[in-house]
A and B are shown apart, each in its own frame.
Chain A
Amino acid sequence: MFELVDVLSLSNILFNLAGVVIGIIFGAIPGLTATMGVALFLPFTFGMDPVASFALLLGIYVGGIYGGSITAILIKTPGTPSSAATVLDGYPLAEQGKAMESLSMATIASFIGGILSCVALILLSPQLAKIALSFGPAEYFAVGLFGLSIVAALSSGNLLKGLLSALFGLLIATVGMDPVTGAMRFTFGNINLTGGIDFVSALIGMFAVSEVFSKLETINADTGMSGLKGVKGKIVGAKILASNTVNFLRSSIIGTIIGIIPATGSGVASWLAYNEAKRASKHPEQFGKGAFEGVAASEAANNAVTGGALVPLLTLGIPGDVVTAVMLGALMIQGLTPGPLLFTENRGVVTGIYVMLILANIFMLLVGLLGINAFVKILKVPTNILMPIVLMLCFVGAYAINNRISDIGLALLMGIVGYLFNKVDIPVPPMLLGIILQPIIEANFRRAMTISHGDISTFVTRPISLVFILISVGSFFWPIISGYIKRRKNGSAVA
């Protein structure tokens, strides 16, 4: 009990709140991510005591993952990669005038995901840590394949085009240094390509810049507005929330597990949860056109990653994602050694971290819900003023990730590609999935083959890997088969 009083000092609470607000800003601006926020504010924590430093950093982490949903819903621009799946349904909802409901759904889903993952972290850390260790290259490859199997579900209408989009993503992601041999690939002699295609810049380009281009076409010069209906002032109803109970739970579990497995992250989690929600839904045809379930799944999952990623960090000293990798540094700066010893020698700090993580989620809920009225004001800005601003924000964000001007060029190029894809009905999300999953799939396939000394049966003799491979095959062909059956029933033979 004394511990708790110490931990909940006024300064810690304020640091936590400040962290959440900073995080939301970082998350909402395209290009600025939770990772950057934590990294940039890390030096400030040198002089702080451990709990205070984690109050700030965890606040930024939680706020940052959540913040991406705001711009994803309101201006079709995912502020962070983890909110890309939120765009698919969040933005259509905003177009239907349901921006407030959509935002509040995202906030509440994020809160539920965050809190459930905290519970898992607090109660089950040692057991869950074992999951992290049972994942070797073969398992990562299988998970990557599973992620890729979503492509079929994301390719509404034309599977071939969806596949092309995913393959395009897989292909451009091979630019840069080969992770296994260190050889430079497909750089076409350009130094800036040696670092590879920056994923966040590409994301900004594909979703946001291309949207600016489309808006330029559809804009009505007289009113300066385009399409978006007025915002009705209400938050999401209890009925919708209640109907998503299972969805919240499932997505939070997916997010927590993905968080625990090192070397994956919130970007993967939200897509997997989105796909599962669509598959389990009674109205899968609503997905992509404004289903609350889609927003709920994506946001619950990405915020559930936070608690999950802390499991291997605290229990094993292994970061569960990029953000916690920076936090590993923060722990060491405090003279703390993560791992089993942390729980015996620094019990107080561990308690502090738990409390601050829960508090950060509560602050996120409060700031998020109270802020909705302010956030939706963005929609009142005429499109012909908003779009130039969005474009410039995209560019500054693309630059800020790596301090590279060439990344702005990449965002522009991917914007053109995204725009043209839209024009010829090639779905963009599979390409994004390809870019996210390429490093997981390729490198781990080759690693696994190296470890097994060239024996390909390693993927089916390891149980976890086998299960994921079987699910992937099933989940890839299921939409195709079920679609085929439906068409047969309807008696239409159009391909």
Chain B
Amino acid sequence: MKLRKISYLAMVVVLVLSIFTGCASGAKQGDNASAAPAAGNDYPKQPVTIVVPYAAGGGADLMARALSTTLQKELGQPFIVSNKPGGSGAIGMAEVARSKEDGYTLILTSVGAATITPNNSDVGYTNKEFAPIAQVADIPLMLAVKADSPFKTVQEVFDYAEKNPGKLTYGTAGAGLIQNVSMEGLLMEMNKRGLFTHVPFNGGAEAVSALMGGQTDFAIAIATEIIPQMKSGQFRALAVSTAERYTETPDVPTFKESGYNYEVGVWYGFAAKAGTPDAVLQKLEGAFQKSLQDPEVIETFKKINQPIAFMDSKSFTEKWMSSFEKFKAVVAELNK
């Protein structure tokens, strides 16, 4: 009796399943058909998803949410932010790499997820799956020490390390992130690998906390993590990774000034799946450019400490692809 009931149930399950899969595949084909003529001019005809490969509440998420409002104003369709955190951004990137080339799935990516992570491990994408649209923000890195540290200039740090190779430790937000890989890249370029000992933490806040507690000798961290501690007198920034002095901290010299070829930033930018029609990409590029001039967006970016740095699709693509190749070499050397 019981058994019969259950086998009956099993049949119902199978039946319902088959109906749904049938429906669903039908619906999917319908979608394809309607999307086909949308090669450009009538884009966007349906809501666009912005994949943010980081957790809700973080800098990237807040930027995406701020821009989604103005993008909707510009293009007339809702832009929906969808957080897909995990694997230093790799999970969200891999998802967009597998998406359709129709411009309805965009990603707000960052330098690490775009140019370092895929070189470090097989994460299911490289730089070839993406069509960069526009860079929106770029934050410099800083080398900071505790206020009571004997080091007053970046030169002194390097000089001390030359005499005591490997003795100085530097903390960063994590292994294989831009803070770490770019610094190791600089040391490789100078032919001085192992000059500093790297200590990877779990996020910038932990690296800052470790520096404050004197666990490490210096930190390489993004400017927004260092500046508050500078203002409160706990840290001293010795150098900033911009080409010219950073507007927020005019007193801090650049690495270039001290003779170190260290120009790098944590950039954020949008991309679609490679193969998305040019017309769509151009439309989006224009919308991003306009959005970044919107007073409300400017205000929000200022509040969340993300310096706006618009870069058009052409230069952004160049930057992305050349960084990718550069870090590929560095990571290969690091993993040797």
Interface residues of chain A, those whose CB is within 8 Å of chain B, are 35-36, 38-40, 42-43, 46, 132-137, 176-184, 189, 191-192, 194-196, 198, 262-263, 312, 316-319, 325-326, 328-329, 332-335, 337-341, 402-404, 439, 443, 447, 450-451, 453
Do the beta carbons of B91 and A332 come within 8 Å of each other? no
Main secondary structure of the interface of A (DSSP, over half): helix
Given contacts A183-B121, A329-B57, A339-B232, are A46 and B213 in contact (CB under 8 A)? no
Q: Report how far A108 CA is from B23 CA in the complex, Å.
A: 52
Write the B229-262 contact mask toward A (1 if CB under 8 angstroms, else 0): 1011110000000000000000000000000000
Do the beta carbons of B91 and A46 come within 8 Å of each other? no
Residue of A nearest to B125 (CB): A191
Write the B200-221 contact mask toward A (1 if CB under 8 angstroms, else 0): 1111011011101111100000
Given contacts A317-B228, A318-B205, are A195 and B200 in contact (CB under 8 A)? no
Do the beta carbons of A182 and B174 come within 8 Å of each other? yes
- Tell me which residues from 41 to 65 in chain B have a Cβ below 8 Å from any Cβ of chain A: 55-59, 61-62, 65
Of A182, A326, A338, which one neighbours B228 at CB under 8 angstroms? A338
Do the beta carbons of B91 and A404 come within 8 Å of each other? yes
Do the beta carbons of A329 and B201 come within 8 Å of each other? no
Q: Report how far A332 CA is from B224 CA in the complex, Å.
A: 10
Residue of A nearest to B217 (CB): A451
Do the beta carbons of A39 and B55 come within 8 Å of each other? yes
- Tell me which residues from 141 to 165 in chain B have a Cβ below 8 Å from any Cβ of chain A: none
**A residues within 8 A CB of B169?**
450-451
Q: Report how far A133 CA is from B210 CA in the complex, Å.
A: 7
**A residues within 8 A CB of B197?**
450-451, 453
**A residues within 8 A CB of B286?**
none
Do the beta carbons of B90 and A194 come within 8 Å of each other? yes
A351 → chain B, closest Cβ, in Å? 19
**A residues within 8 A CB of B174?**
179, 182
**A residues within 8 A CB of B65?**
43
The 10 closest A-B pairs by CB, nearest first: A195-B86, A182-B176, A39-B57, A194-B87, A339-B232, A182-B175, A133-B213, A136-B215, A39-B56, A184-B121
B275 → chain A, closest Cβ, in Å? 20
**A residues within 8 A CB of B228?**
317, 332, 337-339
- Tell me which residues from 170 to 206 in chain B have a Cβ below 8 Å from any Cβ of chain A: 174-177, 197-203, 205-206
* A40-B57, A196-B86, A337-B228 known, 20 other contacts, Cβ within 8 Å: A36-B56, A39-B55, A42-B56, A46-B303, A191-B91, A194-B94, A262-B205, A312-B209, A318-B208, A318-B209, A332-B224, A332-B305, A334-B303, A339-B229, A340-B233, A404-B91, A443-B202, A447-B200, A450-B199, A453-B197
**A residues within 8 A CB of B198?**
450
Do the beta carbons of B175 and A133 come within 8 Å of each other? no
Of B88, B201, B303, which one neighbours A332 at CB under 8 angstroms? B303
Does B85 interact with chain A (Cβ within 8 Å)?
yes
Residue of B nearest to A329 (CB): B57
A115 → chain B, closest Cβ, in Å? 27
Q: Report how far A447 CA is from B200 CA in the complex, Å.
A: 7
23 examples of A-B residue contacts, CB within 8 angstroms: A39-B55, A39-B57, A39-B61, A46-B303, A135-B213, A177-B121, A181-B175, A182-B120, A182-B174, A182-B177, A192-B91, A194-B123, A262-B205, A262-B206, A263-B206, A316-B212, A317-B229, A333-B303, A339-B228, A402-B86, A403-B82, A451-B197, A451-B199
Write the B113-156 contact mask toward A (1 if CB under 8 angstroms, else 0): 00000001111100000000000000000000000000000000
**A residues within 8 A CB of B94?**
191, 194
Does B328 interact with chain A (Cβ within 8 Å)?
no
Q: Report how far A35 CA is from B90 CA in the complex, Å.
A: 22
**B residues within 8 A CB of A339?**
228-229, 231-232, 234
Residue of A nearest to B299 (CB): A46
Given contacts A191-B123, A339-B229, are A316 and B202 in contact (CB under 8 A)? no
Does B99 interact with chain A (Cβ within 8 Å)?
no
Given contacts A196-B86, A316-B212, A325-B205, are A447 and B199 in contact (CB under 8 A)? yes
Interface residues of chain B, those whose CB is within 8 Å of chain A, are 55-59, 61-62, 65, 82-88, 90-91, 94, 120-124, 166-167, 169, 174-177, 197-203, 205-206, 208-210, 212-216, 224, 228-229, 231-234, 300, 303-305
Do the beta carbons of B121 and A326 come within 8 Å of each other? no
Q: Report how far A42 CA is from B301 CA in the complex, Å.
A: 14
Do the beta carbons of A329 and B58 come within 8 Å of each other? yes
Residue of A nearest to B65 (CB): A43
Do the beta carbons of B216 and A191 come within 8 Å of each other? no
A121 → chain B, closest Cβ, in Å? 18
**B residues within 8 A CB of A192?**
86, 91
Residue among B65, B88, B197, B206 with the highest chain A CB neighbour number at 10 A? B206
Residue of B nearest to A401 (CB): B85
Q: Report how far A38 CA is from B61 CA in the complex, Å.
A: 13
**A residues within 8 A CB of B203?**
325
Residue of B nearest to A340 (CB): B232
Q: Report how far A192 CA is from B84 CA in the complex, Å.
A: 10
**B residues within 8 A CB of A39?**
55-57, 61
Do the beta carbons of A328 and B205 come within 8 Å of each other? yes
**A residues within 8 A CB of B210?**
136-137
Do the beta carbons of A194 and B229 come within 8 Å of each other? no
Of B62, B122, B215, B300, which one neighbours A451 at CB under 8 angstroms? B215
B79 → chain A, closest Cβ, in Å? 14
B24 → chain A, closest Cβ, in Å? 14
Do the beta carbons of A179 and B200 come within 8 Å of each other? yes
Residue of A nearest to B166 (CB): A453
Do the beta carbons of A42 and B57 come within 8 Å of each other? yes
Residue of B nearest to A133 (CB): B213
Q: Report how far A176 CA is from B174 CA in the complex, Å.
A: 14
Residue of A nearest to B233 (CB): A340
Residue of B nearest to A312 (CB): B209
B173 → chain A, closest Cβ, in Å? 11
Residue of A nearest to B181 (CB): A182
Residue among A135, A191, A341 with the highest chain B CB neighbour number at 10 A? A191
B257 → chain A, closest Cβ, in Å? 27
Residue of B nearest to A439 (CB): B202
**A residues within 8 A CB of B231?**
337, 339, 341
Do the beta carbons of B56 and A40 come within 8 Å of each other? yes
Q: Report how far A182 CA is from B234 CA in the complex, Å.
A: 30
Q: Report how far A317 CA is from B202 CA in the complex, Å.
A: 16
Given contacts A137-B215, A180-B200, A262-B209, are A329 and B62 in contact (CB under 8 A)? yes
